[in-house]
Amino acid sequence: MNPSDTSLPSHFELLGTDGAARTGRLTTPHGVVRTPAFMPVGTAGAMKGMHWREVRDAGADIVLGNTYHLMLRPGAERIAALGGLQTFTGWNGPMLTDSGGFQVMSLADLRKVSEHAVTFRSHIDGAKVELSPERSIEVQRYLGSDIAMQMDECVRLPAERDDIDRAMRLSLRWAERSKRAFESAPDGYMLFGIVQGGDIPQLRHASAQGLVEIGFHGYAIGGLAVGEPQAVMLAMIDETAPLLPQERPRYLMGVGTPDDILEAVKRGIDMFDCVMPTRNGRHGVAFTRFGQVNLRNARHADDPRPLDAESPWPSTRNYARAYLHHLVKAGETLGAMLLSEINIAYYQFLMQGIRDAIAHGTFDEFYQRTREDWARGDI
């Protein structure tokens, strides 16, 4: 379990720091990931509204697949028989899969959590399913992801201290079982632990220290972006990140807006995933250098300007706002497609700016200027 050894098929190299911000390189069997990295979420084996080539061209090195969805449909064994996720989807680059735990809690019906496993009924056909840490690792191995996640229990906030404590300790015991199952067949891939503990510093400390003792290739900070104010999320990162090994990647799950990402990078986070760029795109909202633009708004109806004439992304500098407004109002599929790629491209543009700024020791200036541009708002 020493992924700093660059001779291994999977390893992380810290290339530079600027304050608590870090830039690095995560090498996986399917390719290299530049960090800080934003992972677009390809939930059911597709990036909604986009071709994979656009995801690649926009600058994404790695994408996320959801174990919960894929194990229910088309099935993990079927994907394995068809060559694994990279071959099945055609993405052919690094992929991270979640353990499914989070989505069982938010999507499945009649779910029950026991020490052994989570049991639930599929939201697709009502079939009874049991997901244990061992089965979750088996599924992720069938999917062939480069980075697998331990199975955990994420508690939505606000929550009682006892419930947060119970879920955090269960997640630690599941971390141990996930690692044992993962190590039963070492194959050069990575397994990340997930820090829980809600909004309670002492429980965050206990979770982080417990995971570090077990030892993982990387550490996710879970249990956040689940309804708490940004200030609470950032405070929990401040409590947790310093307890995690410097030489391992840190992954903040489910985050977030460009502002969330900038604040979390400043506090030492290396990896992010969020459905916001594609989901907001489908709802007509664009992310740009000057903040968000809701193309449903009538003020765009006669505006011939593109979203950003200086953007390196063609669709962002070539399409008139009036056209995007029309597509969104008319419910044209092309509207969702264009705004999804525009948003994924903006997130990757932001990550590239972050990586360059850290590498040049100018992250503070980048942070200030970026926030000023957002605050300037869309002219």
Ligand X SMILES: C=CCOC(=O)Nc1nc2cc3[nH]c(NC)nc3cc2c(=O)[nH]1
Decide whether 64 or 72 has the Cβ nearer to ligand X: 64
List the one residue from 95, 225, 264, 271 that touches ligand X (CB under 6 A): 225
107-146 footprint of ligand X as x/- string (CB under 6 A): ----------------------------------------
Give the C-alpha separation, 59 to 349, whole Å. 8
Tell me: does residue 236 bind ligand X (CB under 6 A): no
Using CB under 6 A as the binding rule, the residues of this chain from 239 to 278 that contact ligand X are: 253-254, 273
Give the C-alpha separation, 344 to 104, whole Å. 26
Decide whether 211 or 225 has the Cβ nearer to ligand X: 225
Decide whether 223 or 277 has the Cβ nearer to ligand X: 223
Give the C-alpha separation, 352 to 35, whole Å. 9
Using CB under 6 A as the binding rule, the residues of this chain from 144 to 183 that contact ligand X are: 149, 152, 154
Give the C-alpha separation, 133 to 137, whole Å. 6
Decide whether 164 or 327 has the Cβ nearer to ligand X: 164
Q: How far is the CB of 53 from ligand X (least distance, A)?
A: 24
Peptide bond into 40 cis (omega under 30): no
Q: What is the rounded end-to-end Cα distance, in angstroms, of the chain?
A: 51
SS3 content of the chain, % helix, strand, coil (to 5): 45, 20, 35
- A 10 A CB-CB count for 178 gives 29
Give the C-alpha separation, 66 to 250, whole Å. 19
List the one residue from 99, 145, 311, 343 that touches ligand X (CB under 6 A): 99
Binding part of the chain for ligand X, among 6-14, 93-101, 140-148, 338-346 by CB under 6 A, reads 93-101
- Give the strand order in the sheet containing 190-195: 37-40, 271-274, 250-252, 218-221, 190-195, 147-149, 95-97, 63-65
What value, to the nearest 5°, has the Cα angle with vertex 71 and ends 69 and 76?
135
Tell me: does residue 226 bind ligand X (CB under 6 A): yes
Decide whether 154 or 191 has the Cβ nearer to ligand X: 154
Amino acid type, 163: D
180-199 footprint of ligand X as x/- string (CB under 6 A): --------------x-----
Query: Which residues are designated catalytic?
Result: 98, 273
The closest of 29, 30, 122 to 72, measured between CA atoms, is: 122
For 124, residues 6+ apart whose C-beta sits below 8 A from its C-beta are 72, 73
39-58 footprint of ligand X as x/- string (CB under 6 A): --------------------
Decide whether 43 or 292 has the Cβ nearer to ligand X: 43
Q: How far is the CB of 357 from ligand X (least distance, A)?
A: 26
The closest of 14, 28, 11, 179 to 96, measured between CA atoms, is: 28
The closest of 197, 185, 182 to 136, measured between CA atoms, is: 182
Tell me: does residue 222 bind ligand X (CB under 6 A): yes
Decide whether 154 or 265 has the Cβ nearer to ligand X: 154
Decide whether 139 or 154 has the Cβ nearer to ligand X: 154
Q: How far is the CB of 72 from ligand X (least distance, A)?
A: 15
Number of residues that bind ligand X (CB under 6 A): 17
Beta bridge partners of 285: 294
Angle between helices 230-240 and 201-214 (to 10 degrees): 40
Q: How far is the CB of 61 from ligand X (least distance, A)?
A: 16
- Residue number of the CB closest to ligand X reads 254
E strand intervals along 182-315:
190-195, 218-221, 250-252, 271-274, 285-288, 291-294
Binding part of the chain for ligand X, among 99-107, 115-123, 204-212, 293-301 by CB under 6 A, reads 99-107
Q: How far is the CB of 215 from ligand X (least distance, A)?
A: 18
271-310 footprint of ligand X as x/- string (CB under 6 A): --x-------------------------------------
Q: How many CA atoms lie within 13 A of 220 on its CB side?
A: 29
Q: How far is the CB of 356 from ligand X (least distance, A)?
A: 26
What residues make contact with ligand X under the rule CB under 6 A? 64, 98-99, 101-102, 149, 152, 154, 194, 222-226, 253-254, 273
